[in-house]
Structure 1
Amino acid sequence: MTTAAPPDRRLLVAGLLFGAGAMGAVDEIVFHQLLHWHHFYDRSTGAVGLVSDGVLHAATWSATVAGLALLADARRRGVWAPRRWWGAVLAGAGGFQTFDGLVDHKVLRVHQIRYGVDLTGYDVTWVAGGVLLLLAGVLLLRRSRSAAATR
Structure 2
Amino acid sequence: MERSGQNLWSGVLFGIGLVAFIDEAVFHQLLHWHHFYDLGTPAAGLVSDGLFHAFSWFATIAGLFLLADLRRWGALRWPRWAGGVLLGAGAFQLYDGTVQHKLLGIHQIRYVDDILPYDLTWNIAAVAMLAAGAVLTVRTRRAPHARASS
The answer to whether the superposition gives a TM-score over 0.5 is: yes
Unpaired segments of 5 or more residues in structure 2?
Answer: 146-150
Give the aligned partner of residue 48 of structure 1. Answer: 44
* Displacement after TM superposition at 1:117 (Å): 2.5
Q: Hey, what's the Cα distance between the residues in 2 that align with 1:68 and 1:41?
A: 28
Match of 2:77 among 64, 69, 81: 81
Confirm or deny that 1:115 pairs with 2:115. no
Q: Hey, what's the Cα distance between the residues in 1 that align with 2:27 and 2:40?
A: 18
Confirm or deny that 1:16 pairs with 2:7. no
Letter in 2 for 1:59: F
Q: CA RMSD in A?
A: 1.3
Preserved contact between residue 84 and residue 137 of structure 2 (Cα < 8 Å): yes
Preserved contact between residue 4 and residue 141 of structure 2 (Cα < 8 Å): no
Counterpart mapping for 1:1-150 below 5 A: 7-148=3-144
* Displacement after TM superposition at 1:144 (Å): 1.1
Q: Hey, what's the Cα distance between the residues in 2 that align with 1:116 and 1:102?
A: 18
Unpaired segments of 5 or more residues in structure 1?
Answer: 1-5
Q: Hey, what's the Cα distance between the residues in 1 that align with 2:85 and 2:124?
A: 17
- Percent sequence identity is 54
> What secondary structure, in the 3-state scheme, does the structure 1 residue paired with 2:36 have?
coil
> What secondary structure, in the 3-state scheme, does the structure 2 residue paired with 1:147 have?
coil
Count the aligned residue pairs: 144
* Displacement after TM superposition at 1:78 (Å): 1.3
More helix by share: 1
Q: TM-score, normalized by length of structure 1?
A: 0.92
> What secondary structure, in the 3-state scheme, does the structure 1 residue paired with 2:48 have?
helix
Q: Hey, what's the Cα distance between the residues in 2 that align with 1:119 and 1:144?
A: 38
Q: TM-score, normalized by length of structure 2?
A: 0.92
* Displacement after TM superposition at 1:146 (Å): 4.3
